[in-house]
Structure 1
Amino acid sequence: MGRDTPTYDTYPDPVYGFVDFVGELFAWGLAGGSAVHYIKGLRGSPSGARLAGAVNAVRQNAPRVAGKFGAYCVFLSAMESAVSFASGRDDTWSTAVAVATTCGLHGMRRAGAPAAARYTVLGATGYLGIAYALRVSEISRTKEEVNRGGPVPPVVCRRPDPGPRQPRWFRMMSPFITKEKVGKDTYYIEV
């Protein structure tokens, strides 16, 4: 079972998507924490017990790193929901504010207010840079498809919504979103 067929697609409740999102970040934290602490354990152990020291470092530290990743994911999702509902729309700026707040919280935990300010600016500019790069890449890919004469990817259509919008991860699991495969790419279309 790969990423093409997530298990929560069969459930109408978007909570499964949220749990999948948190679990995915937990798994990334577990994998990254395992790799980092394995290398640290290898380098920091005495000559005869390097492998045992590396495994012990992973066993002691990787679950803690994974738990932090999962907790930050929950906080990020809560902030994104709060900002989206407060502003009445869900856009890149709402997510940037949520990422900046989460990074600021992380900086505050590490070294106080000066670090929180640095982490906030770093998180917001990092997210906006990644979002801009993804948008430019999507536009250039669409232009290449049009210039080659290939099928034009479908345009995402949105129906008017008078109330506040749900966060992006919540809307992607809505029963009004359908997946359409064009070639090897998957597009989400709101009906």
Structure 2
Amino acid sequence: MTHSGKFIVVEGLEGAGKSTAIAHIKHYLHQHGIEPKCTREPGGTPLAEALRDLVKQLHSNEQVAPQTELLLMYAARMQLLTNVILPALTAGSWVLADRHDMSSRAYQGGGRQLDEQFIQQLRQAVLGELKPDLTLYLDIDPAIGLERARQRGELDRIEQEQLAFFQRTRQKYLQIAATEPNIAVIDASQPLLQVQQQLTTALNQALGF
């Protein structure tokens, strides 16, 4: 699959500072004359946002099966790809996403410990050969990130998981980042200025500005 636009993704655990990082990246791109299309996963279209609500909310009378959670994530992703990401890239626009496929591999593959082959089959069916041009993974100790998330307010269904879940998720994130190209690991435990400097360095190296 070919496209003329660039696809940049920001990944990380709860409390890693993705929103702040995205604001910095947007400013960086604006300085280079680029106005990116910004979106998020799960979400980004009306139907995908409704699926996001289903995934995030607590269901007091029903347990959400891990496989159901994964399928909902990929259903939302398909809507976003079809209606937003692929049209933008085809038109030559840049896309800046808050989460993408790496999240499913880390949270459902690592955290939920779902079968890798099952996830790979879904990835192939939904994404084909599409991969981000650059993924910026904000790495943080889960205990620190969760404390930051708690300070923001009430936690959603996934954020209420046990610490071990997020430790497995982080381990999977790091495993993917160590073995696949176009992924930059950013130490999100640093002060904000240092995080922004790392982001700028990674963007310069990947984009050649």
Normalising by the residue count of structure 1, what TM-score does the alignment of the two structures yield?
A: 0.31
**Larger fraction in helix:** 1
Question: More strand per residue: 1 or 2?
Answer: 2
What TM-score do the two structures reach when normalised by structure 2?
0.29
Largest Rg, 1 or 2:
1
